[in-house]
Amino acid sequence: MADVLLVDLSRLQFALTALYHFLFVPLTLGLSILIAMMETVYVMTRRTIWRDMTKFWGVLFGINFALGVATGITMEFQFGMNWAYYSHYVGDVFGAPLAIEGLMAFFLEATFVGLFFFGWDRLSPRAHMIVTWLMALGTNFSALWILIANGWMQNPVGSAFNPDTMRMEVTDFMAVIFNPVAQAKFVHTVSAGYVCASTFVLGVSAWYLLRGRHVQLAKRSFVIASAFGLASALSVIVLGDESGYALTDNQKMKLAAIEAMWETEPAPASFTAFGIPSQNDHETHFAIRIPWVMGIIGTRSFDKQIAGIDELVAHAQARIRNGVVAYDALERIKADRNDTAARAVFDASSKDLGYALLLKRYLPDPRQASEQQIKDAAWSTVPYVPLLFFGFRLMVACGFVLAALFAVSLWHTSRESEAPRWLFRAALLAMPLPWIAAEVGWFVAEFGRQPWIIDGVLPTFLATSELGVTDLLLTIAGFTLVYGVLAVIEVRLMLAAIRKGPEVAQVIDDLRAGADPALQPAE
């Protein structure tokens, strides 16, 4: 039985470091594409304003990118440090996408990011543009492989438990790569990154336009951000629905929890626009339901049912019983590697082995579990519904508000007259929304996966390293302190660079030329 506090602290540390890392990632994903597009316009038209735009947004990109890289190092090593049993249990499957991410994406991104900043005088405009696109491509490939790894945690296809090595092993790597959950998540996440960067560019440009500064640069940035933002926001919303659709195959429980659907309704199910779900009563109070909508979104049909929580719990109970059969066979194989009868039983029941492991929360040997413990374990497969219910709605609301903002902005920029000032103020106010949506979206996806670290395969509470609570407290304190200080520095530098504006490069050059004697060449 696992130490509850150790598990909670390990999860807290992962959540803190992942959420923090994910403050920087979406902006990097989108801004790299936006600056590559700006530079392409420069190379096509040779109008220097577009090169200035590329350089200016590039400075902000660089400040953000540095922290994205710094906090990404932690992520790559945290699995081994805090989740050693997980690393052993699924490294055969989960490690490969991470390694390929390094080979295919991160090398590309990190090698060319240096040349993006240092190559302006050394490369022709066309060659520099290609470098910028390769850097943008690298960041986006990076997201692909990370989400293939994450998609497998949500929907562990193409793999099986090997009783000789006591771990999950790949049986079909193509199935892991083309996992529908991973593909949907990839499109959803990079689109969200594009929305994030578009909102950022729109907001900063709006601030300049409100003050009448750098109008030429801000106007063009405003147009490109509203167009790219609208396309991306629509993609997030439509393809966000797509990942909800994939859920019905793989993660019915997450969908039921997000919708607080306690009982299976006759098809097509209604969509709960608002309500107060209660975990204890298994009921949603004050629910406002829109008939049919959920059934249509969730199943793309009028006649297929969406399973409610009660039904899924009953199903989990059956899988736990079958899982205990697999667990018993596995113990017999461990005692005698040549027990062919036990191997036959295991092969038939191994897909439910993970469900038996849920019982380890209550007792060391799942075979000794009482009826009540099996029932409790089945109910433990329900994540905490109210947080998912409200979290999901908050994310969706942010998405719709941003889509509307981009649509209005684009409509105004296409007209002859000046866009109204209230629109610029709205763009400024909307700046936090994509970050809220992205962080909440991560929470819904990963907290909604609980109690599993790998859906149906390995419960989270078994996956940690055998560390002391002091180790965890020390590292959580250390990360919080360092990350906190870096966050303050990052935001200050970002604000300073925005305040200085596009001539920030010029300002630095001037400083170097005269204002600061320490910087004078020593001749």
Per CB under 8 A, contacts with other proteins among 173-192 are: 173
- Closest distance between other proteins and the C-beta of residue 171, in Å? 7
Other beta carbons within 10 angstroms of residue 175's beta carbon come to: 15
Q: Is 170 in the site for other proteins (CB under 8 A)?
A: yes
Interaction residues for other proteins, span 268-327 (CB under 8 A): none
- Closest distance between other proteins and the C-beta of residue 54, in Å? 12
Q: Is 411 in the site for other proteins (CB under 8 A)?
A: no
What separation in angstroms does the CA of 489 have from each of 63, 274, 483, 495, 518? 10, 40, 10, 10, 23
From the list 15, 69, 296, 401, which residue makes contact with other proteins (rule: CB under 8 A)?
69
Query: Which of 4, 5, 18, 141 has the alpha carbon at shortest distance from 71?
Result: 18
From the list 25, 43, 108, 204, which residue makes contact with other proteins (rule: CB under 8 A)?
108
What whole-number distance in Å separates Cα of residue 420 and Cα of residue 131?
A: 38
Q: Is 124 in the site for other proteins (CB under 8 A)?
A: no
Q: Is 480 in the site for other proteins (CB under 8 A)?
A: no
Tell me the two tokens of residue 139. Answer: 């960041």
How is 35-86 classified by DSSP, letter by letter? HHHHHHHHHHH--HHHHHHHHHHHHHHHHHHHHHHHHHHHHHHHHHHH-HHH
Q: Is 96 in the site for other proteins (CB under 8 A)?
A: yes
From the list 197, 497, 501, 502, which residue makes contact with other proteins (rule: CB under 8 A)?
497
From the list 1, 12, 44, 73, which residue makes contact with other proteins (rule: CB under 8 A)?
73
Stretch that binds other proteins, among 36-44, 161-169, 282-290, 416-424 (CB under 8 A): 161-169
Contacts of 519 (CB under 8 A, 6+ apart): 511, 512
What whole-number distance in Å separates Cα of residue 371 and Cα of residue 375?
A: 6
Q: List the x/- string, 440-479, binding to other proteins by CB under 8 A.
A: -------------------------xxx---x--xx--x-
What whole-number distance in Å separates Cα of residue 433 and Cα of residue 199?
A: 8
From the list 15, 16, 19, 98, which residue makes contact with other proteins (rule: CB under 8 A)?
98
The amino acid that residue 24 corresponds to is: F
Q: Is 114 in the site for other proteins (CB under 8 A)?
A: yes
What whole-number distance in Å separates Cα of residue 473 and Cα of residue 142?
A: 31
Could you tell me how many residues of this chain bind other proteins (CB under 8 A)?
90
| Residue ranges of E strands in 97-207 | 159-162, 167-170
From the list 16, 19, 123, 431, which residue makes contact with other proteins (rule: CB under 8 A)?
123
Interaction residues for other proteins, span 125-144 (CB under 8 A): 134
Choose between 94 and 208: whose C-beta lies nearer to other proteins: 94
Stretch that binds other proteins, among 110-118, 189-197, 250-258, 296-304 (CB under 8 A): 110-118
Q: Is 416 in the site for other proteins (CB under 8 A)?
A: no
Q: Is 506 in the site for other proteins (CB under 8 A)?
A: yes
Choose between 418 and 516: whose C-beta lies nearer to other proteins: 516
From the list 48, 122, 336, 416, which residue makes contact with other proteins (rule: CB under 8 A)?
122
Interaction residues for other proteins, span 332-391 (CB under 8 A): 334
Q: Residue 69 in contact with residue 110, Cβ under 8 Å?
A: yes
- Mark 277-313 as b/e (b = at least 16 C-beta within 10 Å): beeeebebeeeebeeeebbebbbeeeeebbbbbebbb
How is 355-404 classified by DSSP, letter by letter? HHHGGGGT-S-GGG--HHHHHHHHHTTS--HHHHHHHHHHHHHHHHHHHH
Q: Is 146 in the site for other proteins (CB under 8 A)?
A: no
Choose between 175 and 287: whose C-beta lies nearer to other proteins: 175
| CA contacts within 13 A on the Cβ side of 178 | 3
